[in-house]
């Protein structure tokens, strides 16, 4: 696995350790020791999912974005100044900056999570998408229907439908790719 953000990147080595390189502002490229199953890079921080299913984050912590909660997780994602984890019970927990309610995860069960700059989205177990947080570009106005995947960026979100079409909403959207 490899992840990249503003001026730095991190990768998961074959021995399950993390290597980071690039601009090391706020120690965001100083990966901790240990073994991991996933790695994600945020704007100024990074997080890794350890082999024991706990989350460790590092880098800039001005908004508590590196203060990962305790517990066990199956997935992680990082946004501009916040992060979210998918717990083993399929609920979402988010932490960090919450000026646009981007860490106020809704109740329910999910199979996937994603974060943008100031918003977050989750793929529910019924295959619908729910988004929350900043909506100045329409990035949390999720379309109806069922999906197999969801991803987010700064001001935009996209979903992969069951028929293999991609739908995006938010900045420069709507977009439909067949």
pLDDT at 80: 87
Beta strand 82-87 pairing with 73-78? antiparallel
Residue 139 belongs to some domain of the structure: no
Encode burial over 55-82: b for 16+ CB neighbours within 10 A, e otherwise.
Answer: bbbbbbbebbbbebeeeebbbbbbbbbb
Residue 173 belongs to some domain of the structure: no
Residue 60 belongs to some domain of the structure: yes
pLDDT at 20: 95
Q: Summarize pLDDT for 98-134 with one digit per residue, the tens.
A: 999 999 999 999 999 999 999 999 999 999 999 999 9
Residue 172 belongs to some domain of the structure: no
Residue 26 belongs to some domain of the structure: yes
Count of domains for the chain = 1
Angle 44-56-134 (CA atoms, 0-180°, nearest 5)? 45
pLDDT at 36: 99
Residue 177 belongs to some domain of the structure: no
Determine the average pLDDT of the residues in 12-38.
95
Q: Summarize pLDDT for 133-155 with one digit per residue, the tens.
A: 999 999 999 999 999 999 999 89
pLDDT at 114: 98
Encode burial over 131-141: b for 16+ CB neighbours within 10 A, e otherwise.
Answer: bbbbbebbbbe
Give residue 62's domain range.
2-97
Q: Summarize pLDDT for 61-93 with one digit per residue, the tens.
A: 999 999 999 999 999 999 989 999 999 999 999
* pLDDT confidence bin for 33, thresholds 50/70/90: very high
């Amino acid at each position: 696995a490899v992840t990249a953000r503003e001026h730095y990147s991190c990768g998961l080595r074959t021995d399950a350790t993390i290597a980071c390189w690039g601009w090391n502002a706020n120690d965001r490229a100083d990966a901790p020791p240990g073994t991991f199953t996933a790695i994600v890079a945020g704007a100024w921080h990074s997080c890794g999912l350890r082999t024991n299913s706990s989350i460790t984050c590092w880098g800039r912590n001005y908004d508590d974005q590196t203060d990962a909660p305790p517990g066990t997780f199956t997935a992680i994602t990082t946004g501009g100044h916040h992060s979210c984890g998918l717990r083993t019970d399929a609920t979402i927990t988010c932490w960090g900056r919450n000026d646009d309610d981007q860490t106020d995860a809704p109740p329910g069960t999910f199979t996937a999570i994603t974060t943008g700059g100031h918003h977050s989205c989750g793929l529910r177990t019924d295959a619908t998408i729910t988004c929350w947080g900043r909506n100045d570009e329409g990035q949390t106005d999720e379309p109806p229907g069922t999906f197999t995947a969801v991803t987010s960026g700064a001001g935009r979100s996209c979903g992969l439908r069951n028929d293999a079409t991609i739908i995006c909403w938010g900045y420069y959207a709507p977009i439909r790719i067949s």
